[in-house]
Structure 1
Amino acid sequence: MTDLKEVAQLAGVSRATAARAFASPEVVRPATREQVFAAARELGFRPNRLGRQLRLQVTKLIGVVVPNLLNPVFAEQFQAMERAARLRGYNLLLATTDYSSERESAVVEELLRQRVDGLVLTVTDAESNRVLQSLDSEDTPFVLAYHQPRNPDYSAVSVDNRAGMALATRYLLEAGHWRIGMVAGPALQSDRARLRYAGYCDAMREAGLDSVPVIEMPAHTQADFAAIEPLLQGPQALSALVCSNDLLAISLIAELRRNGWQVPRQLSVIGFDGIALGTQMHPTLCSVVQPIEALACTVIDQLLAQIAGAPAVSHCLPCHIRPGESTQPYEETLDDPLA
């Protein structure tokens, strides 16, 4: 007896898309829907009966994919989304990818096998991602969290990463710093980090200053003093650093202090995310704050609207600087006897 999996394979779509074509045909693209129905006819499948059954089998589950939970920004996001989803009668299933595109494909497939109604995704690179291309072609509801994709068919909720890092760089420029560098993970590991580096370059160019090539660290959230040490010596030594995320900034401050450098007396440091942990350390972390609670609620509402048949839309939420003790004016750095 033919089953849904065989229909999906013949139609060249996922099982979840085939199921939606029968259960809620109005939310599936006409061309995709016709592929599924044609495959069903060829295999002698009975779509109407299956559709009635599937309408009674809504899982009320949302799949959530994040790089990891070691970075508190994703843990805070998940907790806020869980509260928002629960209020709307949904539960979340979580998977992590450790910034691996291969793992992204595997965990998304596994979540679809769990019959999730839709997906919230934070991926390595939203611009050239086969998983997203496949989900889009199959009409699987999904929303990207923290990304700013150029593809208008992708639904996303983010802050303006480029403008946010330009804001952080200008904050240092206004404090009198002009030798400023940016620290990020290996090869600007995420599309968000690349946009943030572009924002840093924008602000430096506006000030008539040369930007420094990105200072690459061994991991997205792990600093290495050896990578920064050469840039702290000589007449062109950096006086301030912007970091691609808060956890990297916290790790960098620890590495600097471990090697005898004072923050902010000798070097000012700014992070990006606004995680709560930054306010509980010493010195407190100056950071670009992403509105994580608002982002999480917007993501859930947007995904549920898509599940109900609404088109993909994107939102860009405002961010702001949270002042902290990890920065000080450049004049104070010059006057400090430890500098």
Structure 2
Amino acid sequence: MPRNTGPGASHHAAGAASTLHDVAELAGTSIATVSRALNQPEKLRRETLERVREAMRELQFRPNLIGRQLRGERTCLVGVVLPDMLNPVFGECLQGIEESAAQGAYRVLLTTTGYDSAREEQVIETLLSQRVDGLILTVARAQEHPLLARLAAAAVPYQLVYNHCESHPCVSVDNRAAARELVTELVLLGHRRIGMLSGSRAASDRATQRHQGYCDAMRAAGLAARAPLEIDFHQRRLPTDMLAALRDPRRRPTALFCGNDFLALLVMRELREAGMRVPEDISVVGFDGLSFGELLSPPLATVCQPHRQLGSTAWSHLQHVLEGGAPRSSVLAHRLRIDGTVAPPSFRPRPE
């Protein structure tokens, strides 16, 4: 059992982050023994190893996994961090990563964050504890992300995918430009009352950039941008007051730009259940380009992203760094799919 070292041990257990020295003192071992417990546990006697691990638990010790990563040998593992796997766009991206990584004899370890920024550091440390050679990540807000700065400072290879910012290596489309182009198409069709439904902008910098593109298009047309209707990414029903506003012909927009295709599908279902029709009563557009959107009736108008190519390009850039090259960024082309969920605001259904 670890020996009690008095007030100092209890202070570390409840207060500041503990160090190797603190663990060694509480376990009654040398710092070298604690280091061996972390890096070469098989070389310690069972009793010694358990004593060190118990001290770590008591002190809530968290090893510097980033630093350890630099000293390890290659494992041919790459860690991937994505928001979730419920949205098919991330499945397509992962397929692009896996197919490309397999050509270089790499394997992929996947973790998801559920759009919870607080989980990001936890899952990244979990991957580093598995001694991955590098990371491919989609994070909440890349520009000011503290852990990315730590990875960069420690020279841990990483590559962002879907995030679009200048301060980190990224592979993405230009979310702001794509949203501006899509909303401009609505303006050209004659829409003047255009609203936006967004996922949580605090959980996704892509949502923020798409809202900026919406505002750009509205300002360029001399129109007032409405405050976005914002809901959680996990929500599967529209809030009652939001649905009531969309049902009210005096308040509702003639067109609604949804920040991703899932939100567009959610809106279309809710409107249909409320007795409204798309695009007869309101035009709806999305963002992502889910392939099954073309199979809907009517087909979903949206921005199409090359998800599989985003994944394969992210791997290519990460592999370049693993082989000694400098970090790289790419902005891939998007395309608009103006389809059946969009019509001029004066559109009326044909008599049945």
- TM-score in terms of structure 2 length: 0.78
> What CA distance in whole angstroms lies between the structure 2 residues aligned with 1:5 and 1:313?
37
SS of the residue 2:160 aligns to = strand
Query: Where do residues 216-295 of structure 1 align in structure 2 (5 Å cutoff)?
Result: 216-219=230-233, 222-224=236-238, 226=240, 227-235=242-250, 237-295=252-310
Give the conservation status (yes or no) of the 8 Å contact 1:223–1:248.
no
Q: Give the Cα separation in 2 of the matches to 1:217 and 1:15.
A: 35
- SS of the residue corresponding to residue 111 of structure 1 reads helix
When residues 225 and 257 of structure 1 are mapped into structure 2, their CA distance, relative to the original with a 3 A threshold, is farther
- Equivalent residue letter for 1:147: N
Provide structure 1 residue ranges, at least 5 long, that are not aligned to the other structure. Answer: 23-53
Counterpart CA distance in 1 for 2:237 and 2:174 is 25
Change (3 A) 1:317 1:187: closer
CA distance in 1, matches of 2:237, 2:184: 23
> 2:98 aligned to 73, 78, 82, which one?
82
> Residue 349 of structure 2 aligns to which amino acid in structure 1?
D
Find the counterpart in structure 2 of residue 131 from structure 1.
Answer: 147
Alpha-carbon separation, structure 2, partners of 1:96 and 1:6 = 25
Distance between the aligned counterparts of 1:330 and 1:86, measured in 2? 49
Aligned AA (2:320):
A
CA contact (8 A) 1:17 1:139 kept: no
Q: 1:212 to 1:202 in 2, by over 3 A?
A: same
What secondary structure is seen at the aligned counterpart in 2 of 1:241? strand
Q: Which runs of structure 2 are paired with 1:43-58 in the superposition (5 Å)?
A: 54=72, 57-58=73-74
Pair 1:323-2:325 in alignment: no
Q: 2:214 aligns with which of 200, 225, 238?
A: 200
Q: Which residue of 1 aligns with 2:349?
A: 336
Q: How many Å separate the matches in 1 of 2:98 and 2:65?
A: 26
Equivalent position amino acid for 1:315 in 2: S
- Please report how far the alpha carbon of residue 158 of structure 1 lies from its aligned counterpart in structure 2 after TM superposition: 0.5
2:172 to 158, 172, 179: 158
How far, CA to CA, are the matches of 1:249 and 1:198 in structure 2?
18
Quick one: distance in 2 between partners of 1:283 and 1:221?
23
Shift of 1:324: 2.2
Q: Residues 78 and 19 (structure 1 numbering): CA distance in 2 closer, same or farther, change over 3 Å?
A: closer
Distance 1:254 1:209, change over 3 A: same
Provide the rounded CA distance (Å) in 2 between the counterparts of 1:266 and 1:5.
Answer: 66
Contact 1:143-1:299 at 8 Å conserved across structures: yes
Note closer, same or farther for the CA distance 1:188–1:268 as it changes in structure 2 (3 Å cut).
farther
Q: Conserved in 2, the CA contact under 8 Å of 1:61 and 1:92? A: yes
Asked if 1:91 is matched to 2:114, the reply is no
Percentage identity across aligned positions?
37
Hey, what's the Cα distance between the residues in 2 that align with 1:234 and 1:329? 16
Q: Kindly name which structure, 1 or 2, has the bigger radius of gyration based on alpha carbons.
A: 2
Out of 304, 307, 311, which is 1:296 matched to?
311
Which deviates more from structure 2 when the two are superposed, residues 107-116 or residues 168-177?
Answer: 168-177
Task: Select the residue among 165, 170, 178 that pairs with 1:149.
Answer: 165
Shift of 1:90: 1.0
Which sits farther off after the overlay, 212-221 or 84-93?
Answer: 212-221
Secondary structure at 1:62 match in 2:
strand
User: For structure 1, which segment, 209-218 or 232-241, has the greater mean C-alpha deviation from structure 2 after superposition?
Assistant: 232-241
TM-aligned CA deviation for residue 337 of structure 1:
7.0
Q: 1:135, CA displacement in angstroms?
A: 1.1
- Contact 1:185–1:221 (Cα < 8 Å) also in 2: no
The alignment partner of 2:346 has SS state of helix
Equivalent position of 1:171 in the other structure: 185
Q: What is the alpha-carbon distance in structure 2 between the residues aligned to residue 239 and residue 222 of structure 1?
A: 23
CA gap of 1:221–1:163, structure 2 versus 1, over 3 A, is: farther
Task: Tell whether 2:203 aligns with 1:185.
Answer: no
Over aligned residue pairs, what C-alpha RMSD do you find? 2.2
1:115 pairs, out of 122, 131, 134, with 131
- The equivalent of 1:73 in structure 2 is 89
